[in-house]
Amino acid sequence: MCDTAKRGTLFVYSGASGVGKGTIMKKLVERDKSICLSVSATTREPREGEINGVHYWFVSREEFDKMIDDDGFMEYATYCNNYYGTPKKAVEEKLAQGFNVFLEIEVKGALNIIEKYPDCVSIFVLPPSFETLEKRLRLRNTETEEQIRNRLETAMREIKLSEVYDYTVVNDDLDKAVEDVLSIVKEVTGKE
């Protein structure tokens, strides 16, 4: 469980689209109850099966702008023509409750967080190869060809920036990648 006596650690968690970071994340929260995932706001359309308030807060552009004006985001960025932002209040509350909060965000937002919150711990998930990434993205079958190309170009730029992260984890084998992230959490929080 989370340690309510101690403030939790803020984790920045990134990886190219299709790398499997969402699947790893799902297993992380099942395995370690001190970990919780921040739910971002986005102007992107929900994909099939995505639930408002669980996967994202799906908002209009106007609602997003209002949250910016109200200083409601820790960071926000555009990614492939949509807006994504991390709600500040919810993350602060979870950290105060002792949870280790993961922000699953793209690199521009991540670089902002790393600068603003120097105590955060950053993890980047890498694909075993660029070809594997392209294959996974196509198999997922949730984007148009143009969107896939756009995401692959973005992925190439993002992978180049992975060197600014504290840790990189290669998602070759899912269970191994989950173990690797759990070890990082244990190492930096000093908990078994």
Check binding of 123 to ligand 5GP (CB under 6 A).
no
Q: What is the DSSP letter of 144?
A: -
CA 100-50-12 angle, to 5 degrees, is 25
3-state secondary structure of 86: strand
Smallest gap, in angstroms, from Cβ of residue 117 to ligand 5GP? 14
Smallest gap, in angstroms, from Cβ of residue 79 to ligand 5GP? 4
Within residues 8-37, the interface with ligand 5GP by CB under 6 A covers 17
Is residue 19 within 8 A of residue 125, CB to CB? The reply is yes
Question: What stretches of the chain show up as alpha helix (H) in DSSP?
Answer: 21-31, 61-69, 88-96, 107-116, 130-140, 145-160, 174-189
With respect to ligand 5GP, which residue has the nearer C-beta, 88 or 191?
A: 88
Within residues 124-153, the interface with ligand 5GP by CB under 6 A covers none
Tokens found for residue 153 = 């170009």
Smallest gap, in angstroms, from Cβ of residue 30 to ligand 5GP? 19
Provide the 10 A C-beta neighbour count for residue 103: 22
With respect to ligand 5GP, which residue has the nearer C-beta, 4 or 153?
A: 153
Helix axes 145-160, 130-140, angle to 10 degrees: 150
Check binding of 122 to ligand 5GP (CB under 6 A).
no
Q: What is the largest CA-CA distance in the chain?
A: 49
Part of the chain binding ligand 5GP (CB under 6 A), chosen from 24-32, 74-82, 92-100, 124-132: 74-82
Pairing of strands 41-42, 82-87: antiparallel
Smallest gap, in angstroms, from Cβ of residue 125 to ligand 5GP? 10
Residue with the CB atom nearest ligand 5GP in the bound state: 109
With respect to ligand 5GP, which residue has the nearer C-beta, 40 or 100?
A: 40
Within residues 79-118, the interface with ligand 5GP by CB under 6 A covers 79, 84-86, 104-106, 109
Q: Which residues bind ligand 5GP (CB under 6 A)?
A: 17, 40, 44, 75-77, 79, 84-86, 104-106, 109
